[in-house]
Amino acid sequence: MVTFQFVPYHEIEDLGSARRVKRLIDIVKQNKIVLLQGRLKEEEEADLIAIAMEEIKGKFKGIELAVINPEEKSKEGLKRLRSNFYNLVLGDRQGLTIIGPASIVKDIKKDPTKIELLTKEARNRRK
């Protein structure tokens, strides 16, 4: 069985970068797949990878990560500027970030509005 945990943006918006990343990694380490509303900042995404590397031990082999933001390309001119301003002030709540443990999620493919999440077979996961 695969468990998904939805994390609304308001749950992380008041946290500092390090605590945001830690919170998400802690969920993933419980063998759950995180569905985060919106996306992290670019630097936080890099931190997420670095922290995942630090946490690799035993059954935890790292993460699979994908960000889907279908509206990003469709916006032009003023709409894009306005959206960037809101994102700067309120955080980027558009789209979806998927973070799963690499021991469960084999690959995440984007299309770009469709997501395919390939999981590992249960017998392989028990190794």
Partner 1 sequence: MINILKSFISKVLNNLFKKKKNVRLGLYGPPNGGKTTLANRICKDWLGEDMGDVSNIAHETREIQIKEQISIKSKGKELDFNLVDTPGIATKIDYEEFVKAGMKEKKAKQRAKEATKGIIDSIKWLDEMDAVIIVLDGTKDPYTQVNITIVGNLQARNIPVLIVANKSDLKKSDVKKVQAAYPQYSVIGISAKYGNNIDKFYEGLFAIAG
Tokens describing residue 79: 């709409």
Rounded to a whole number of angstroms, the minimum distance from the CB of residue 11 to partner 1 is 22
Q: Give yes or no for residue 104 binding partner 1 (CB under 8 A).
A: no
User: Using CB under 8 A, which of 15, 49, 81, 115 touches partner 1?
Assistant: 49
Q: Give yes or no for residue 53 binding partner 1 (CB under 8 A).
A: yes
- Give the neighbor-by-neighbor strand order of the sheet with 3-7: 3-7, 32-37, 96-101
CA distance 25 to 83: 28
Q: Does residue 47 contact residue 17 with C-beta atoms inside 8 Å?
A: yes
In the complex with partner 1, the residue whose CB is nearer, 4 or 10, is 4
User: Using CB under 8 A, which of 13, 26, 43, 71 touches partner 1?
Assistant: 43
Contacts of 110 (CB under 8 A, 6+ apart): 66, 68, 116
Binding residues for partner 1, total number by CB under 8 A: 24
Residues in contact with partner 1 by CB under 8 A are 41-43, 45-47, 49-50, 52-54, 56, 61-67, 102, 108, 110, 112, 127
